């Protein structure tokens, strides 16, 4: 039999200023299994840089500013 592991997808959506990024930072800092992979999409690069600074243990990858974000997104997927 060929079993595939289905990824768990969790969408975090709420009003601006409600603590979404803080929640993500706390969840990822408390994650013990470093083999897990996470896919985080933010609208603004400054939110990405906030995540990079707050979670230095993760190897986060940012889009190349010279390429369209959609192209970079497809490469990361």
pLDDT digits (tens, 9 = 90+) for 20-61: 999 999 998 898 887 788 888 887 888 888 998 998 887 777
Q: Cβ neighbours of residue 57 under 8 Å, at least 6 residues apart? A: 29, 34
The pTM is what? 0.69
CA dist 38 and 30 (Å) reads 14
Reading phi first (left if > 0) and then psi (alpha if -120 to 50, else beta), residue 48 is in alpha
Integer Cα distance of 69 and 44 in angstroms? 11
């Amino acid at each position: 039999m060929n079993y595939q592991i289905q990824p768990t997808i969790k969408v975090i959506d709420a009003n601006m200023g409600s603590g979404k990024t803080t929640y993500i930072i706390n969840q990822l800092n408390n994650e013990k299994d470093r083999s897990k992979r996470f896919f985080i999409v933010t609208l603004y690069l400054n939110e990405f840089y906030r995540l990079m600074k707050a979670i230095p243990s993760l190897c986060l990858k940012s889009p190349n500013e010279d390429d369209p974000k959609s192209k970079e997104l497809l490469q990361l997927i």
